[in-house]
Structure 1
Amino acid sequence: MSKPLAFRMRPMTIDEIVGQQHLVGPGKIIRRMVEAKMLSSMILYGPPGIGKTSIASAIAGSTQYAFRMLNAATDSKKDLQIVVEEAKMSGTVILLLDEVHRLDKPKQDFLLPHLESGRVVMIGATTENPYITINPAVRSRTQIFELKPLSVEDIQLALTRALNDKERGLGNYSVSLSDTALLHLSRATNGDLRSALNGLELAVKSTKPNEDGQIPITLDVIEECVQRKALTHDKNGDAHYDVISALQKSIRGSDVNAALHYLGRLIEAGDLPIISRRLMVIAYEDIGLANPGAASRTVTAVQAAERLGFPEARIPLANAVVDLCLSPKSNSSYAAVDAALTDIRSGISGDVPDHLKDAHYSDAKKLGRGITYQYPHDYPDAWVAQQYLPNALLNAHYYEPKHTGKYEDTLAKQYDKLEHLKRQRKNN
C-alpha cells in the first residue's frame, strides 16, 4: 500500500516548508541554525497538521543528519537507547519525539545527558502548551518555538505543489481542480495541511476521468471528501466572510435568533477556529467594559469548544453567543485606543515628561529623570494631581465612558470624579 500524499509531500529541505516563516524564513532562528549547522534541541508546539514533523524532517534533510521518529507515549526507553547508540557510531542524529509532553521520568533521565552533549538533537512535538505540560528539566535544555496556524494561502500553495509534483505528488494525474473546490479545501480543513492533502488525494483517486481524460474535482467532490459543507457555492467565496460579518453584526445588534442562525452556518461548515476567534473579538470589541464577565465567559466557552471539538463544541459556543447577544454593549475602550493611535500615527506624541522617565539607573538624577515624581500610593485614595501626558497632548481626551452596564457605569463615575479633580487643580 502506498504512503499517504501528506507523508510523501513532507518537506525534504527547509526551503520546501510551507508557512512558519517567522522561524524558517530568511534570517530567522531555525534557518540560521541550519545554515550554521549549530542545531540545538527544541520543542515545537501548535495545533495538529501545521508542520511540526515537516520542520524536523526538513532540518534533517538540509543538514544531512540521520533522522529518526519516536513517540514519547508509546515507544520505550529501549527505542531511545537504539537512537543514542546510532548517534555514538555515526554522529549527530535528529530525533523527532512526538507527544513530548508524555515523556516519563525514566526516559527523560536517560535522554537528558545526550541532549546536553549534542549527540542527539531532539525536536519535541506537542499540541499542548510546553510551559505547562513539559517538565522544567526538559524545557531548560531546549528552545521552545510556537508554530502558527497555516493560512488559506499557505495551504493552497501546498496543494498546488502536490498537484504538480510528478515524483512525490499527483502530477501524473490529469486533474482539473475548480477554484471553488480549492478554496473550500483550503478552508474546510481549518489550517490542517495533512487533512487537506489527504482530502485532495482521496478526491483525485476516487473520481472517474471525464471524456477528455481529465479528473474533474468540483466543490461537491471536495465537500464529500472532507465531510464539510461549503457555506455557499458562490464563485469567489465571499459568503464565507459575509456570514462571519453577519454573526458579529447580529450579536452587536442583540438579535439572538439571527446570531444563532449564523453560528449554525459556521458550525455546519466546521469553522471552529474562525468561530472561536470571532467570538473573542466580539466579546472585547462590542461588549467590552459594559460586561467584562461576558468576555471571561466567552474565553472559557471557546477553550471548552476547542477541547471538545464538533459536534459537542456547538454547546459552549451557543452559550457564548446567547450571553453576548443579550449583554449590554460598549465599544468605549476600543474607540479610545483607536483615537490614541490616530494621534500617534499622525505624529502627535511628544516626549514623556521627565518625572515619568525611568530613574533606576545610575546618574538618572543628573539627567533630571524621576526627580519630581509623586508616588500615588503615598496619597489618599492612591491619587495625586500630576502631569502624565506629554505636553503636546496635555488636553487630549480619548476615553468617553458609556452607561450601558453597571461595571462601566462605576468606571464612568470614577473617571468623572478624577477629571473634576484635574480641572480643579488646573484652575487653582
Structure 2
Amino acid sequence: MSIANYKHTVTERFMRYVQIDTQSDPASPTQPSTEKQKDLSRILVEELKVIGVSDAELDEYGYVYGTIPATSGKENVPVLCFCSHVDTAPDCSGFGVKPILHEKWNGQPIVLPDDPLVVINTNEHPYLLERIGDDIITASGTTLLGADDKAGVAIIMDLANYLIQHPEVKHGKIRILFTPDEEVGRGVNKVDMKKLGADFGYTLDGGERGHLEGENFSADAVMVTFNGISAHPGYAKGKMVNAIKAAGTFVSMLPHGEWGPEFTEGMEGFVHPVHMEGMLEKATVQFIIRDFDTAKLATHEQRLKGLVDKTVAMFPGIHAEFTIKEQYRNMKEVLDHHPRVMDYAAEAYSRADMQAKRISIRGGTDGARLSFMGLPCPNIFTGEMGIHSKQEYVSVQDMEKAVETIVHLAQIWEEKA
C-alpha cells in the first residue's frame, strides 16, 4: 500500500493533543519543570501501546521512549531516532486551547472568534500564500495553538501508526523520543542516551514545508553582577556606591542600531539583555549571546566585558562579576562529519516531491544538543508557523507531507545500509 492512499491520523491526534496544557516553566527547578507535561506524555504512551509499540514508557523526568521494530532482514541498518517535544512556550497561554479547522482555506484573513482583534493574514504571514486551499488549523484567539511542537509529536505518532500497520515497508529499528522542557532550554538534560540507543536522529520541529535545518546558533548565557556599597542615605556622601546606577549606566552603553536581535538577521549574531534586577548593593543583568560562528561568541563576550570594565571605572568602589555559561553549539560542527544524515533527508524530500531547502535556524533545538551528545540530529519541517503566539497555525497537508517524508527517510537508511 502506498502512503499516498493511507488514511492519516495526524490531524485527529493533533487536535486532541493541543487541548492538553503542557506549558513549561523557566522559573521551576524541577525536571520536568511542570508536572502537567506528563498529562500528554502518559496519553502518548498508551496510544503507542495501542498502535503496537509495546515497549513505550514514560520515565520520572518526563521522557517518552518507544521502539518501532525493524522490518529489514539486514543487520547493519543504523538505528534512527525521531524526536519532538511535548511542552509549549511560556510566552503565551496554553490553557484552554480550542483548535479550529478551517477547511480548504480560501486565502481570506482568518479572524479568530474568541478575540476578533487577532487576525491571521498573508501580509504578516506570507507563507500562507503557499497554503491557499489547504486545511488550516488555528487556535481561537486567546491562546497559542501548540503546533510547536505538538505537530511534530502527532507526525511521529502517525509515522508509528503507518509503519506498524505496514510491515512490508522495509526499515531498520526506529526509536521514538518525546521530550519535556525544550522551550525552557532543558529538553535533553536528563535523556538516557544509552537507553535511547540510536545512531542518528531527526527532530520534527521545523516550520515551512521543504525546510531542512542543519545549522543553528551557538549559544552562551552571560550574567553581569555589580556589587555596590550600602550606606544610610542621610549620611551617604563619599560612602555609598549604587549598584543600580552602575547597572543602568552599563545597559545604556549597549549600542543602538546594531548587535541586538532587533537589529540583526540572516547569519548575524547578537548580544541580548533578557533580564535585569537589583537593589543598592547588588544588581544583575542577564544576557544571551548568539552566533553561528562559535569562535565569535568569545569576541562578543570580550566586547561586552569591555563595557563592564568601562562602567566599573566610572563608579569607584563598584566590584563587577562576569560569568559565562555554555548553552548549546551549532549542530553543523557535528553534522559536517556525517554528511549522509542531511543527504538522506534531502533525498527523502525529493521522493516526497519536494526540493529540500537547507536553512540555518536563528535559534536552537533539542537536536543541536543531541548532536553534541553523540546523536547527529538535524531538524525536519512540520508546518508549524506563527509560533509562541495567538496567531500560530499549521497546515494539515504540511503535517501529512512530513509523515510521508520520514517514511521515505526510514526506507532510505535501510536501502543504503
Query: Does the alignment reach a TM-score above 0.5?
Result: no
Pick the structure with more helix per residue. Answer: 1
Larger radius of gyration: 1
So what's the TM-score if we normalise by structure 2?
Answer: 0.27
Which of 1 and 2 has higher RCO (CA within 8 Å, sep 6+)?
A: 2
Pick the structure with more strand per residue. Answer: 2
